[in-house]
Amino acid sequence: MKHFFLRGIVLVGLMFIIPEICSAVTFEVDNLSYEVIWEENGYGAVSVADYRDISGNIEIPASVSYNEVQYAVTSIGNGAFEFCSGLTGITIPESVTSIGRSAFSNCTNLNSITIPESVITLGDWAFNGCISLKSATIGNSVTSIGQEMFDHCTSLTSVEIGRSVSSIGYHAFWYCRNLADIIVSEDNYHYCSIDGVLYSKDVTRLIQCGGAQTSVTIPESVMYIDHSAFSYCDRLTSIIIPNSVTQIGSWAFLGCSNLAALTIGESVTSIGEEAFNGCANLTSVVIPDLVTYIYQMAFAFCDKLSSVTIGSSVLSVGAGAFSDCNNITDVHCRAINPPRALPYSFLTSTYQNAKLYVPKGTKNDYENTDPWKRFLSIEEFDLSGIGSVRADDEGVSVNVNGNTLIIEGIRCGEPIMVYDVQGRAIYSGESHVISSLPGGVYIVRVMDRIVKVKI
């Protein structure tokens, strides 16, 4: 009984002591709030604490005094200036070594930031939603850029990345629609910049293209296009993905609303989820024969998409892969075995109005496999490539797939002309896929070459 009594006294005592131990010491100097990190013998360190009502141009001091103790300002805490909509500029002293999560998130009038050489750590979402931020300089001591660091910084035009950055978080430059230039220190061992586009140092990964880019030539060394690499690059009108690329990441071209001409290299094996979601001006797509999976929503909301060619190795078409594509007129599936798919991989209107072309001898299989059997019109074509013509030894070819011409091996933007045998122009433009042609003989002129094909 005595032991229980003593234990009760101790517990009651702790109830009063613990709040004193756990509660952080904070104080205010010159309209800035600070939180004590440590203190000893008249010296200490503090972090700039939460202070949401601050506005104007702010200069954070390197040190502050309080109650006769001198404190070095070594960090900016999590959410310290979050939602400070009146904050227009800030000077960060060399004493600061870390900037916390969401430290300046949604500071909607902050227009520039220079991160000093002393800063090593940048937390996730540090500048998320800073819609007036035009430029950012990341000092040479920073080792990592957190996830969604500059997410929705819609006015951001340039970013300078220092020599020590070795990792860049998820969606770091998501929706930076005016970002024209990503500059990387030549001394950085992990990243480099070519024409304002961010790559891995060995140029095997394309990591980030700024949203303001109008055209990009992807080097032949690139093997991977990272997730979100071109997301919301809505000024991009055409892209050629070279044969060196094997993977296209999720959201890679999400929201590229003006992308009209797309060539996917023959070595691509996977197309990530929502990779081309919202490419509203894309009219045709040819998915190479090495692709095995088309992930969910990969081409959703491609409003003008009319012709789709699915490669021979595709095993699975993800949920909603072609959802909200209201204008598809023909689907050419080169797979001998009907790929796995869900009914809502395509719209009901696609099943009702589009023609499905399948390899010769497989119509019965497609007619008995869901969802392919939902197509009201299924026709066979010769997979051996009747009508396929190799124009020359340089790789330029014109292939016939059903009622569609597919031109390969030419540069994006190269003019293409198609004439009937009477010499009348049937098509003039830059699309590599020309669909819905009636049966007959055609003359195709491309890159000063002339090819005769029969449909």
Q: Greater confidence, 2 or 196?
A: 196
Same domain, 270 and 253: yes
For the cut 70, the answer to whether the pLDDT of residue 21 exceeds it is no
For the cut 90, the answer to whether the pLDDT of residue 390 exceeds it is no
Instruction: Pick the last residue of a domain from 339, 354, 381.
Output: 381
Q: Left if phi > 0, otherwise alpha if psi is -120 to 50, otherwise beta: which for 93?
A: beta
For the cut 80, the answer to whether the pLDDT of residue 359 exceeds it is yes
Tens of pLDDT, residues 305-324: 999 999 988 999 999 999 99
Segment 315-340 mean pLDDT:
94
Same domain, 245 and 371: yes
Same domain, 332 and 443: no
pLDDT score at 365: 95
Tens of pLDDT, residues 147-202: 999 999 999 999 999 999 999 988 899 999 999 999 999 999 999 999 999 999 99
Sheet arrangement for strand 416-420: 425-429, 416-420, 441-446, 449-454
For the cut 90, the answer to whether the pLDDT of residue 1 exceeds it is no
Same domain, 336 and 417: no
pLDDT score at 233: 95
Instruction: Pick the last residue of a domain from 381, 399, 424.
Output: 381
Same domain, 222 and 292: yes
Judge if the upstream peptide bond of residue 438 is cis by omega within 30 degrees of 0: no
Stated length of the chain: 455
Query: What's the pLDDT band for 382 if we cut at 50, 70, 90?
Result: confident
**C-alpha to C-alpha distance for 81 and 52, rounded to whole angstroms:** 6
The domain that contains 120 carries what CATH number?
3.80.10.10
Tens of pLDDT, residues 235-280: 999 999 998 999 999 999 999 999 999 999 888 989 999 999 999 9
State the pTM of this model: 0.77
CA distances from 169 to 144, 166, 199, 344, 451 (A): 8, 10, 14, 33, 48
Domain interval for residue 130: 108-381
Segment 209-226 mean pLDDT:
94
What is the CB-side half-sphere exposure of residue 238 using CA atoms within 13 A? 13
For the cut 60, the answer to whether the pLDDT of residue 368 exceeds it is yes
Residue 48 belongs to some domain of the structure: no
291-307 b/e (C-beta count within 10 Å ≥ 16 → b): bebbbbbbbbbbeebbb
By percentage, how much of the chain surpasses pLDDT 70? Answer: 89
Residue 32 belongs to some domain of the structure: no
By percentage, how much of the chain surpasses pLDDT 90? Answer: 69
Residue 91 belongs to some domain of the structure: no
Instruction: Pick the last residue of a domain from 381, 406, 428.
Output: 381
Same domain, 340 and 410: no
**C-alpha to C-alpha distance for 275 and 250, rounded to whole angstroms:** 5
Residue 278 belongs to some domain of the structure: yes
pLDDT score at 89: 92
pLDDT score at 101: 95
Helices (H) and strands (E) in the chain, counts: 3, 39
pLDDT score at 429: 81
For the cut 80, the answer to whether the pLDDT of residue 393 exceeds it is no
Neighbours of 27 (CB within 10 A): 16
Residue 17 belongs to some domain of the structure: no
Per the prediction, the chain carries an average pLDDT of 87
pLDDT score at 445: 75
Query: What's the pLDDT band for 232 if we cut at 50, 70, 90?
Result: very high
Tens of pLDDT, residues 123-151: 999 999 999 999 999 999 999 999 999 99
Same domain, 308 and 395: no
Query: What's the pLDDT band for 7 if we cut at 50, 70, 90?
Result: very low
Same domain, 371 and 397: no
**C-alpha to C-alpha distance for 353 and 449, rounded to whole angstroms:** 35
Neighbours of 403 (CB within 10 A): 20
For the cut 90, the answer to whether the pLDDT of residue 10 exceeds it is no
Contact partners, residue 7, CB within 8 Å, separation at least 6: none
For the cut 90, the answer to whether the pLDDT of residue 407 exceeds it is no
